[in-house]
Chain A
Amino acid sequence: MNELEAIYTEVITEHSRCQENKHPLQCATCCQKGHNPSCGDEITLELQVEEGRVKDAAFTGAGCAISQASTDIMIDLMRGKTVEEARSLTDKFMAMLKREVTDEVELEDLEEALALKNISNMPARVKCAALAWRTLKEALGRAD
């Protein structure tokens, strides 16, 4: 149970229910679908990338609390970042999930996304946390 409470923290459950970033994006410049076929979670991530910067982002879709919270947190983090910064934060987040980077200081610039660090203790759910970031990476791959 304790291990679980370290995952379903209030930060995570609140973000999972937060609707602020969950809507179609009017001025989107790119749209990317992400899907976990084994569990059915799917999101559509929309980005407004202008002059090398993520000006705005939003998503629609359905999934578990972890995938929804992870998406919401990621969008908050990415808004205003340059494409380069967004890419490097995405890599860092993935490295955190794989426990390749564990140092909290090094992970500091992930901000609230640090709350998902403990997912690495739950191998069955890592893919839920990774979905949005994997999708973002694909979207950014096509953004420039």
Chain B
Amino acid sequence: MSEQDFLRDFPLLNNKVNDIAYLDNGATTQKPESVIQAICGYYGGCNANPHRGAYALSVKATDIYENARGKTAGFIKAKDPAEIIFTKNATEALNLVAYAYGLANVEQGDEIVLTISEHHSNLVPWQFVARTKGATLKYIYLEEDGNLSQEDIATKITDRTKIVAVTQVSNVLGLKNDVQDIVKKAHSVGAVAVVDGSQSVAHMQVDVQALGADFFAFSGHKMLSPMGIGVLYGRYEILDHMQPFLFGGDMIEYVDEQETSYAEVPARFEAGTQNVGGAAGLTAAIDYLEKIGFERIEAIEKDLVDYALPRLREMPFIELYGCDSKIDNKTGIITFNVKDVHPHDVASILDSQGVAVRAGHHCAQPLMKYLGQNATCRASFYLYNTREDVDRWLDALSKVRRVMHLE
């Protein structure tokens, strides 16, 4: 199967109306027909409130929902489906950890260690926990080549550290972090490790047990699924000792006027009616990804990066970020600027030529400040992208400075 065949699976891309090179997969991916059909199929044939009805249709909806949980557990190699909690996105998953674990376990004088390349979703909640509890936030900064400073990893995680929060792949630099090593370090001081898998889970095989992660969060929409379904993986032993995040229906065992006992994990963390249609879409997305396999997906992205980078380096007016890693850990994200042109202007000019890239701070303002940039442009690839998309992007780029009357 060639890349062209993948394109055929994606209705939004496979038509003349949206004639675009979609290079904003770091923000969200397009959806294959099978995922769209799964959502339609759920609402068209199986919709009922799961866990609540004694009738066959409700049982069917419950099965679809719980099947998605099992599927997701297998996808990230969790030991037990109960370790999968559905949320609306990675942000909610990380907030769940911050509220239900962080507030309960971090005390005054404790430390929370983050990396400077965290997305706001894995940073702002920890600022909140630190401020509320009187704890200190410490950052792991970067080496020259954009990788995490080994020295900081060695020195900043200490006996005072209660939580280490790290992204598996930076959404700006596109570099894979050695999460396994950081988790080991966190565990050696008795801290828990919270891993943001938003930019990794759709692009490489994740094994939460091999990583040793205590928590692992991601969004469905960045991995071919609909918006509105996300996942928090948590180790059962930890989840089992946590208080709920949200309170209400479905998360209870018994409710009296003054007292409530809570449901078992994972129901304890899924208050209210859940996104069953989204879960059906997620199942179909995992099926699609597993059919193709990550070896194939990684090869496609690597080919596009290897094709684009030398050509970008030949353009004297292009500045690249995170593209000189000393180790082989680059993913399909290329962040760049055009000299003397603001990223928003670059993105508008590319858009006018049918190329969709992201411009701005990428919800990583501390990283932008650290890099000394107000904003950057980002092209991010996925399995349906082709070398023609790259050509179109580079061709459009070559015109940017002319449009801005700089040449």
| Chain A residues within 8 Å of B, Cβ to Cβ | 1, 3-5, 7-8, 10, 13-14, 38-41, 62-66, 68, 122, 124-125, 128
Q: Find chain A residues with CB under 8 A from B406 CB.
A: 13
B 228-252 to A, binary, CB cutoff 8 A, 1 in contact else 0: 0000000000000000000000000
Closest chain A residue, CB of each to CB of B403? A8
Known A-B contacts A1-B353, A40-B365; the reply to A8 vs B345 at CB < 8 A is yes
| Chain B residues within 8 Å of A, Cβ to Cβ | 341-345, 348-349, 351-353, 359-361, 365, 368, 374-375, 403-406
The answer to whether B342 touches A13 (Cβ under 8 A) is no
The answer to whether B405 touches A38 (Cβ under 8 A) is no
Q: Find chain B residues with CB under 8 A from A40 CB.
A: 360-361, 365, 368, 374-375
A1, A3, A5, A10, most chain B CB atoms within 10 A = A1
Instruction: List 14 A-B residue pairs with CB atoms under 8 Å apart, sorted by A's residue number.
Output: A5-B403, A7-B348, A13-B405, A39-B375, A40-B360, A40-B361, A40-B368, A40-B374, A62-B374, A64-B344, A65-B345, A65-B404, A66-B344, A125-B344
Q: Find chain A residues with CB under 8 A from B353 CB.
A: 1
Q: Find chain B residues with CB under 8 A from A4 CB.
A: 348-349, 352, 403
Complexed CA–CA distance, A8 and B400 (Å): 11
The answer to whether B348 touches A124 (Cβ under 8 A) is yes
A-B pairs, 9 with minimum CB distance: A64-B344, A64-B342, A4-B352, A13-B405, A40-B361, A65-B345, A62-B374, A39-B360, A64-B345
The answer to whether B404 touches A1 (Cβ under 8 A) is no
Known A-B contacts A64-B343, A65-B341, A65-B404; the reply to A125 vs B348 at CB < 8 A is yes
Q: Find chain A residues with CB under 8 A from B349 CB.
A: 4, 8
Q: Find chain B residues with CB under 8 A from A7 CB.
A: 348
Q: Find chain A residues with CB under 8 A from B344 CB.
A: 39, 41, 63-64, 66, 125, 128
Q: Find chain B residues with CB under 8 A from A124 CB.
A: 348, 351
Closest chain B residue, CB of each to CB of A63? B342
Looking at the assembled complex, report how far the CB atom of A51 sits from the nearest CB atom of chain B, in whole angstroms.
37
B404 contacts which of A8, A39, A63, A125 (Cβ < 8 Å)? A8
Closest chain A residue, CB of each to CB of B365? A40
Q: Find chain A residues with CB under 8 A from B351 CB.
A: 124
Complexed CA–CA distance, A6 and B320 (Å): 29
A4, A41, A128, most chain B CB atoms within 10 A = A4
Complexed CA–CA distance, A4 and B360 (Å): 20
Complexed CA–CA distance, A3 and B349 (Å): 10
Q: Find chain A residues with CB under 8 A from B341 CB.
A: 65
Q: Find chain A residues with CB under 8 A from B375 CB.
A: 39-40
The answer to whether A8 touches B374 (Cβ under 8 A) is no
Complexed CA–CA distance, A1 and B395 (Å): 13
B353, B359, B405, most chain A CB atoms within 10 A = B405
A13, A62, A64, A68, most chain B CB atoms within 10 A = A64
New A-B contacts (6) at CB < 8 Å, excluding given A5-B403, A65-B342: A1-B353, A8-B349, A39-B359, A39-B375, A40-B360, A63-B344
Q: Find chain A residues with CB under 8 A from B348 CB.
A: 4, 7, 122, 124-125
Complexed CA–CA distance, A124 and B345 (Å): 11
Complexed CA–CA distance, A1 and B350 (Å): 10
Looking at the assembled complex, report how far the CB atom of A115 sits from the nearest CB atom of chain B, in whole angstroms.
13
Q: Find chain A residues with CB under 8 A from B345 CB.
A: 8, 64-66
Complexed CA–CA distance, A125 and B403 (Å): 16
Looking at the assembled complex, report how far the CB atom of B376 sits from the nearest CB atom of chain A, in whole angstroms.
10
Complexed CA–CA distance, A18 and B325 (Å): 37
Looking at the assembled complex, report how far the CB atom of B20 sits from the nearest CB atom of chain A, in whole angstroms.
14
Complexed CA–CA distance, A125 and B343 (Å): 12
Complexed CA–CA distance, A8 and B342 (Å): 13
Q: Find chain A residues with CB under 8 A from B359 CB.
A: 39
A8, A10, A62, most chain B CB atoms within 10 A = A8
Q: Find chain A residues with CB under 8 A from B361 CB.
A: 39-40
Q: Find chain A residues with CB under 8 A from B352 CB.
A: 1, 3-4
Complexed CA–CA distance, A40 and B364 (Å): 11
Looking at the assembled complex, report how far the CB atom of A17 sits from the nearest CB atom of chain B, in whole angstroms.
8
Q: Find chain B residues with CB under 8 A from A64 CB.
A: 342-345
B343, B345, B403, B405, most chain A CB atoms within 10 A = B345
